Amino acid sequence: MTAPVEIRAVSRRFGTTLALDSVTLNLKAGEFAVLLGPSGCGKTTLLNILGGFLAPSAGAVLIGGQDVTALPSARRPTTTVFQDYALFPHMSVADNVAFGPRMRGIGRAARRARADEMLALVGLEGAGGRRPHELSGGQRQRVALARALAVEPDVLLLDEPLGALDLKLRRQMQDELKAIQRRVGTTFVHVTHDQEEAMAIADRIVVMNAGRIEDEGRPERVYLRPRSRFAAAFMGEINLIPARVGGAENGHLLLDTALGPVRLALRGDLSAVAPGTRLALGVRPEHLRPDAEGLRIPAIVTEAAFFGTHHRIHARPRPAGPELVAHLPQAARVAPGDEVVLSFAPASAILLPED
Amino acid sequence: MNRLLPVAAWGYALALYGFIFLPVAVLVLFSFQDGRLPIPPFDGPSLKWYSQVWGDRKLMAALGNSLAVAMLSSGVAVALGFLAAWGLARGRLWGTRAMQGLITAPLTVSYLLIGLGLMISFNLSGIGPSLVTVGIGHAVINTPLCFAICFASMGDHQVNIERAARDLGAREWQVLGLVTAPMLMPAILAAFALSVTFSWDEFIIAFLLSRFDVTLPVEIWSLLRSGLNPKTNAAGSVVFLISVAVVLVAEIVVARRRA
């Protein structure tokens, strides 16, 4: 089962701090949404409000068009996969998974079958007779997922469920989560601070900071065209180059940057952009390349490291400019002290407000 | 110095355990006395005093009374203590700290005072002394203990587990009965076993609050009034043996649940 989620101007106050500041968000039915942000950004607070563990100070939550703001968690069409799994330690794995159906008054045989079906879905066939403490972290995670899905929730909430797993297992579980989500079609709302994880699984990424939504949209859009400096920096490494508007001419914005003049093609009305406005030009390290067309930046390599898929270098532009981070192709040969000429296509640059 | 240390440690341990267990060992030893007095020299062993205890109607009735009072009063004490601990650990009430202190405070009050207070209260309210009042007295002294044990075992990690149960549709009584209580069963069993042993050999409250039907310690006390006799040793040994058995069973059950 699945349903859309509507969050209307939800705020939450803890004492004097505002953990959520009038957050509005609409999620489509069957969407895999990821709430992404640093700790303390309000993402877990928002998840707890969706799950009914916390009441909002203001605003409303609608699931499937029904206002659930006043409903306790037991009566919401949501279930949660907790960060620490929160499995019932005194019950077998099968009884854990069958707990939700049991609370809904489903008979012993039927819920037993349901538990087996769910355990098969998460790849734990035949583990039903074991106790949670006999399982590995990854297996417990799967049991928690099976338990939450056993009641066919409209919305599944996942609170940093992969945080305790090692990197390899985490990547594997991401793929499985995504596959399971596609199979069951339930709306997933997943909280994480790991932007790679967010991009690996999300249909929609919601970047949060200080109780507000900084940006939200498809992973490509949020990564390539972030709407705020915070979102740009949180989604991945970025070079921020101070810039000043020099003027506009037929669909192009002329910028004076610390590295030289840049001509950006922009759609929309440019007459509102006053010459002299200070901006920042964001360039991702992988867009700074020795072979790209556009502004040429001679620079001296100050540091270089091989990352497998690329060389990551720090370079100091000559004669002047902010230090840049660039990813050079795998086959490149660079060492500190080398001279390189970097360039980037203006189309790949991101225009961001100055601080 | 380094060689002396283990010797000193062993000597200290022996002295300590001797101090604690020698009286009990002497009591048990002279319960097997063949003569009429439980004093050296020891001649025996003989089981005749045990068979006398077994044949003593009043003693056996008192033993049954003690068992009933211990089980029922401990059941009440554990139930009250557990519920209070759950309420104070999970609920957000005003003055939680103060209430917590108030519940555990009776642990520091002497049984004599509690017994006298209960006796006067029952007297005023027209309730005559009986095994029921003894049971109430034991529930009064054991509830703070059960509360303290249950409260100490309620950690924050269980909060999420209870949340998960609610999230899956459990009502509050189902959370309590299907998740919280089973999860805390080791603590609950430990509290119950301790309560049973405390009630089992408690004398002063049982003495003040009973009249015709009495518990085993009170019956042993009336035996003692007629002078030293290996039969009292035998009865005392039975009390000790049952206490030990309760504690051992509790240990085994708790250890198995943890495993």
pTM: predicted TM-score of the whole model, two decimal places? 0.80
**What share of chain B has pLDDT > 90, as a percent?**
26
pLDDT score for A268: 62
Q: What is the pLDDT of residue B237?
A: 85
Count the Cβ atoms, other than its own, within 10 Å of residue A274. Answer: 9
- pLDDT at residue A327, as a whole number: 92
Which of A252 and B134 is assigned the larger pLDDT? B134
Residue B40 confidence (pLDDT) above 80: no
Mean pLDDT of the region B104-109: 85
Spatial distance between the Cα atoms of B59 and B51, rounded to a whole number of angstroms: 12
Mean of the pLDDT values across residues B36-53?
73
Burial of A71 by CB count in 10 Å (0-12 exposed, 13-18 middle, 19+ buried)?
Answer: middle
Distance between CA atoms of residues B5 and A274, nearest Å = 86
Out of A75, A78, A86, the one facing B164 most closely (by C-beta) is A86
Minimal CA–CA distance to B202: which of B124, B114, B128?
B114
Q: How far A69 CA lies from chain B's nearest CA (Å)?
A: 15
pLDDT of residue B257: 66
As to burial, measured by CB atoms within 10 angstroms (0-12 exposed, 13-18 middle, 19+ buried), residue B53 is buried
* C-alpha span between A170 and A138 (Å, rounded): 8
Which of A327, A331, A307, A306 is CA-nearest to residue A315?
A: A327
Q: Does B172 touch chain A (CB under 8 A)?
A: no
Q: Is the pLDDT reported for residue B259 higher than 60?
A: no
- A152: DSSP letter: -
Instruction: List all residues 6 or more positions away from A177 whose beta carbon is below 8 Å from its beta carbon.
Output: A145, A158, A161, A162, A188, A190, A201
Surface-to-core class of residue B253, CB atoms within 10 Å of its CB (0-12 exposed, 13-18 middle, 19+ buried): middle
Tell me what pLDDT residue A260 has: 80
Give the Cα separation of A174 and A190 in Å (integer).
Answer: 11
List the A212-217 sheet strands across, edge first: A78-81, A155-159, A187-192, A32-36, A204-209, A212-217
Q: What Rg value do the Cα atoms of chain B yield, rounded?
A: 22
**Positions of chain A with pLDDT under 70:** 267-272, 292, 355
pLDDT at A269: 61
Q: What is the ipTM of this complex?
A: 0.81
pLDDT value of position A113 = 92
Chain A, chain B: beta-carbon pairs less than 8 Å apart: 60
d(CA B191, CA B139) in angstroms, rounded, equals 12
In this complex, do B165 and A88 lie within 8 Å of one another by their Cβ atoms? Answer: yes
Percent of chain B at pLDDT above 70? 96
Give the pLDDT mean for B95-119: 86
Distance in Å, alpha carbon of B158 to nearest chain A alpha carbon: 8
Q: Which two structure tokens, joined as six digits, stand for A156? A: 């599944």
The stretch B36-58 carries a mean pLDDT of 74
Structure tokens at A37: 């942000």
Pairing of strands A350-353, A278-283: antiparallel
A-chain residues near B168 (CB < 8 A): 74, 79, 99-100, 103, 147-148, 151
Show residues of chain A in contact with B181, CB under 8 Å: none
Q: Domain-by-domain residue ranges, chain B?
A: 59-258
- Listed range (A33-42, A142-151, B35-44, B126-135) with the worst mean pLDDT: B35-44
CB atoms within 10 A of CB A115: 25
Cβ neighbours of B161 in A, within 8 Å: 86-89
Residues A217/A204, Cβ–Cβ less than 8 Å: yes
Residue A257: C-alpha distances to residues A30, A240, A319 (Å): 44, 10, 14
pLDDT at position A88 is: 93
Point out the residue among A86, A103, A151 whose CB comes nearest to the CB of B174: A103
At A152, list the tokens.
Answer: 């066919």
The reply to whether CATH 2.40.50.100 applies to domain B59-258 is no
* Cβ contact A103–B163 (<8 Å): no
Give the burial class of A76: count Cβ atoms within 10 A of its Cβ; 0-12 exposed, 13-18 middle, 19 or more buried.
buried
Q: What's residue A203's pLDDT?
A: 93
CA distance, residue B75 to nearest chain A CA (Å)? 22
- Chain A residues with CB under 8 Å of B171 CB are 74
Alpha-carbon separation of residue A241 from A117, A140, A349 (angstroms): 54, 46, 10
How high is the pLDDT of residue A295? 76
Closest approach of A141 to chain B, Cα-based (Å): 14
Bridge partner list, A328: A311
